[in-house]
Amino acid sequence: MASIMSNSPPTTTFGKTQPSRFFSLARTSNAKGLPKSLTTLALVHNAGHPCPLRVIGRDDPVSFTKQAVRLNILNAISFEGPTKKIQEAYQSSDLFVFPSLYDPFANVVLESLACGLPALTTTTNGSSEIITQDTDRYVMKGATDHLAKDLADRIQEFCKLSPDERSMMRKAAIERATAMSDGESLFTSIKSPNLDAEKSKGV
């Protein structure tokens, strides 16, 4: 399953700033840190940032739904199952949240950057090494007891960024992904994903 925050700068409606939108994506949600993402979301909500979380992937969401109910954040989460419109999901979010407990190299992080979506991930994910913009803030030490709190602190900082700062992060994300990959083949894989075959992609 995957976790995503919307990829647009904060908007205002009638003088009120709209919440950032988060996104998460993975084949095996426990290993990819979805329970940590839910705990993180609860901490962020309790701190006054009611950010919605969009979760995409083929795992059965029952256990995660129960966790969301316990944390009182179920209304803020959308469990959507697999999708063929993954590029649209990336591009309609603000932040990709992927606190993997272990990954040699999760391609979804590179795909996120290629779509202009900044990523928040962990040192236990090999693809964290490609994140160069403000590395200390957006790559967290993985598999720690305090990971959820660390993630929540960074997300709260992200929520306070100005539209110009977010725009700079999106531009840097695209530039980094372009430098690290064959852009044409990468965008082909994003446009025609098969989330049931993520094993072959290392997700």
User: Is 43 contained in some domain?
Assistant: yes
Whole-number Å distance between alpha carbons of 149 and 61: 23
Does some domain include residue 185? yes
Assess if residue 49 is contained within a domain. Answer: yes
Residue 80 falls inside a structural domain = yes
Residues contacting residue 169 through CB under 8 Å, at least 6 positions apart: 118, 133, 134, 161
Q: Which domain holds residue 47?
A: 2-8+17-195
**Contact of 37 with 111, CB cutoff 8 Å:** no
pTM of the model: 0.82
Q: CA–CA distance from 33 to each of 76, 102, 166 (Å)?
A: 18, 9, 24
Picking from 86, 87, 83, 54, the residue whose alpha carbon sits closest to that of residue 68 is 54
Structure tokens belonging to residue 50: 């009611």
Quote the number of domains for the chain: 1
3-class DSSP assignment, residue 28: coil
Within-domain flag for 157: yes
CATH of the domain at 151: 3.40.50.2000
List the chain pLDDT tens, one digit each, 203 residues. 556 544 344 443 333 456 788 888 765 568 889 999 999 999 999 999 999 999 998 888 899 999 999 999 999 999 988 888 888 999 999 999 999 999 999 989 999 999 999 999 999 999 999 887 555 569 999 989 999 999 999 999 999 999 999 999 999 888 888 888 765 555 555 654 434 434 344 44
